[in-house]
Amino acid sequence: MSKQTIAATAADPTVAAAASQFLSPVVLGLQALVVNGKQAHWHVRGANFVGVHEFLDTLVEHAGGWADEAAERIIALGLPIDARLDTIAEKVPATHVGAGFEQSDRLIANVVADIDAVIADLDAAIEGLDEIDLTSQDVAIGIKGGLEKDRWFLVAHVAE
């Protein structure tokens, strides 16, 4: 296969730019969730300690996998993604997770607030990608389904 043939199969630059515009905030938000979820995992205290502590590791693992999936979609379309910690700190709104120990009910509320911020970015991606790139939209839909399930699992620890 010649270089010309390979280049001819690359993604449409307009599609790639649009997909990156919508998926980049998702990648950054999920990467922030990885860091802050681990922070929460280390500092949870009180009721449901073991269940919350262990589930936060699951959330961190899932968020990292979803960030990778969204980032790889951007890369597959031919664009880079900057998800370095400096970039995350600059572009992701402040986390709700604190720096120290927190009771499980409060910590769960804070992690859920961070999850909700990522879900808002996913909703924007799903809507924005609808007429641009259905494959990228499908990535966002899949991530949203999984993240909503993890949100439910966390909320169940404190639900009445």
Q: Could you report the per-residue pLDDT of 50-80, keeping only the tens digit for each?
A: 999 999 999 999 999 999 999 999 999 999 9
- Residue 81 identity (one-letter amino acid): I
CATH of 12-155, one of 1.20.1260.10, 3.30.300.30, 3.40.50.300, 3.40.50.720: 1.20.1260.10
More confident position, 40 or 4: 40
The DSSP code sequence of 35-51 is: HHHHHHHHHEESTTHHH
Which tokens go with 26?
């998702």
Q: Please give the Cα distance from 100 to 26 (Å, whole number).
A: 26
Structure tokens at 131: 């007429």
Q: Tens digit of pLDDT for each residue in 103-118?
A: 999 999 999 999 999 9
**Entry pTM:** 0.92
